A and B are shown apart, each in its own frame.
Chain A
Amino acid sequence: MKGCWAIASRELGSYFRQPAGWIIIALYLFLTGLVFATGVLIPGRVASLRDFFALSGWLLLPVAPAISMRLVSEELRSGTIENLFSSPVSPAAIVIGKYLGASIFMLTMLVPTLVYPIVLRMYASPTPDPGPIAAGYLCLILLGTLYLSIGLLASTLTPNATLAFMVTLFAILGLMFAGTAADWVTPPLRAVLRALAIGPRVMDFSRGVIDTVHVVGFLSVSAFFVFLSVICMEARRWR
Chain B
Amino acid sequence: MVVADNVHKSFGPVRAVRGVSFELLPGQVAGLLGPNGAGKTTTIRMIVGCLMPDQGRVLIEGRDTADASAAARARIGYLPESTPLYMEMRVADYLTYRARLYGFGRATRKAAVDRAIERCWLKDVRTRRISQLSKGYKQRVGLASALVHNPPVLVLDEPTNGLDPTQIRETRQLVRELATDRTMLLSSHILPEVAVLCDRVIVVSGGVVRADAPPAMLGKDNAEQVTYIVQARIQRAADEEKFIKLMSQLPFVDRVDRDPARRHEGEWIEWRIDGKPGAPDLREAIATASSQTGILLRELRTEAPNLERAFLRLIEKTDGGTTP
Contact = CB atoms under 8 A, between A and B. Distances in A.
Contacts of A90: 70
Interface string B75-95: 010101110111011000100
Contacts of A2: 70, 103
Interface string A5-25: 111001001100110000000
Contact of A86 (B11, B49, B93, B97): B49
B101 A6 contact: yes
Nearest to B66: A237
Interface in B15-70: 45, 48-52, 69-70
B89 A17 contact: yes
B82 A79 contact: yes
B73 A87 contact: yes
Contacts, number: 72
Contact of A10 (B52, B76, B82, B97): B97
Given A79-B80, A237-B52, A238-B52, A87 B85 contact: no
B187 interface: no
A72 to B, nearest CB: 14
B78 A82 contact: yes
B100 interface: yes
B48 A86 contact: yes
Contacts of B51: 237-238
Interface residues of B, number: 30
Contacts of A13: 89, 93
A220 interface: no
A88 B103 contact: yes
A196 B253 CA distance: 81
A82 B84 contact: yes
B80 A83 contact: yes
A86 to B, nearest CB: 4
B103 A83 contact: no
A88 B72 CA distance: 8
A216 interface: no
Contacts of B74: 88
A188 to B, nearest CB: 37
Contacts of A6: 97, 100-101
A78 interface: yes
A87 B80 contact: no
B71 interface: yes
Contact of B45 (A3, A82, A89): A82
B121 interface: no
Interface centre among B45, B97, B101 (most CB of A within 10 A): B101
A10 B89 CA distance: 9
Contact of B50 (A14, A88, A237): A237
Interface of A: 2-3, 5-7, 10, 13-14, 17-18, 78-80, 82-90, 237-239
19 contacts: A2-B103, A7-B101, A10-B97, A14-B89, A17-B88, A78-B84, A79-B82, A79-B84, A80-B84, A82-B50, A85-B48, A86-B50, A87-B73, A88-B69, A88-B73, A88-B103, A89-B70, A237-B51, A238-B52
Given A10-B89, A86-B73, 4 more contacts: A13-B89, A83-B85, A86-B78, A89-B101
Interface of B: 11, 45, 48-52, 69-71, 73-74, 76, 78, 80-82, 84-86, 88-89, 93, 97-98, 100-103, 145
